[in-house]
């Protein structure tokens, strides 16, 4: 709704806005599920019917971001629209959507970190605890940390929109950079993080994304100056 309001203010028609919105949501959802399935392929290869079972959650945000960005970019090029405008538009509200979506982790008792005696610790039912930590009952609520940080990122991007017009690419760039920083540090709290050759996959994606985004923002700054 926020993206629709902002787009109409920019002169975009409602049909086009919802067309791009639907593309970003569906592609992002499929990409997030694919990321999760690849992560746990050893399990899903033995239980293929579970791939389409969403009752227990199972979405990887980075997969959703990559798929959503790619789909919106390709759709914009196909429709002869400005890709950076639509990427800026949706990036500006995506952290809010992610924050709201994180409540699903709370109700499913997922996306928690290592045990903690802190008052912020989240109670996890015995059957949902990792085998190595069955004797602990409270864990870091990673979903809550990310929810709060996503809200902070949303408000920062909203402020930045007053300085950088949609279509400049800066809002999209700052979103990727901001979220990469958030996820990089939260991964230190994650239990059984997905690793490839001993490297935390999510952190690897964060580093690559942040580096690429810095190059992108620098190039956009030069274009703006010129």
**What pLDDT band is residue 45 in, cutting at 50, 70 and 90?**
confident
The yes-or-no verdict on residue 224 having pLDDT over 70 is no
Res 178: pLDDT = 97
Res 57: pLDDT = 66
Give the mean pLDDT of the chain. 89
The pLDDT tens digits of the residues spanning 102-133 come to: 888 888 888 899 999 999 999 999 989 999 99
The pLDDT tens digits of the residues spanning 28-43 come to: 999 999 988 988 888 8
The pLDDT tens digits of the residues spanning 51-61 come to: 887 766 678 88
The pLDDT tens digits of the residues spanning 88-100 come to: 999 999 999 999 9
Domain ranges of the chain: 2-225
* Interior angle at CA 170, CA 98 and CA 22, nearest 5: 45
- For tokens 């100056």, name the residue: 225
Verdict on whether the full-model pTM lies above 0.85: yes
CB 107 within 8 A of CB 52: no
* Interior angle at CA 179, CA 160 and CA 84, nearest 5: 55
Instruction: Give pairs for 116-123: CB < 8 Å, separation 24+.
Output: 116/140, 120/144
b or e along 45-67 (b: 16 or more beta carbons within 10 Å of the residue's beta carbon)? eeeeeebeeeeeebbbbbbbbbb
Res 145: pLDDT = 96
């Amino acid at each position: 709704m926020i993206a629709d309001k902002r787009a109409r203010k920019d002169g975009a028609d409602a049909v086009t806005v919802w067309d791009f919105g639907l593309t970003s949501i569906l592609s992002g959802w499929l990409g997030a599920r694919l990321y999760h399935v690849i992560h746990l392929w050893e399990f899903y290869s033995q239980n293929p019917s579970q791939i389409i079972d969403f009752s227990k959650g199972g979405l990887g945000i980075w997969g959703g971001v990559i798929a959503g960005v790619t789909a919106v970019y390709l759709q914009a090029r196909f429709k002869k629209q400005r890709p950076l405008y639509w990427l800026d538009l949706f990036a500006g509200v995506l952290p809010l959507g992610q924050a709201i979506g994180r409540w699903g982790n709370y109700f499913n008792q997922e996306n928690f970190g290592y045990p903690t005696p802190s008052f912020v610790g989240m109670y996890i039912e015995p059957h949902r605890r990792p085998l190595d930590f069955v004797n602990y009952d409270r864990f870091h609520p990673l979903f809550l940390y990310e929810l709060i940080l996503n809200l902070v990122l949303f408000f920062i991007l909203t402020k930045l929109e007053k300085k950088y017009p949609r279509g400049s690419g800066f809002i999209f760039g700052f979103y990727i950079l901001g979220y990469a920083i958030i996820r990089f540090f939260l991964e230190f709290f994650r239990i059984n993080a997905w690793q490839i050759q001993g490297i935390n996959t999510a952190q690897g994606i964060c580093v690559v994304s942040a580096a690429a985004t810095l190059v992108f923002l620098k190039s956009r700054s030069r274009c703006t100056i010129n």
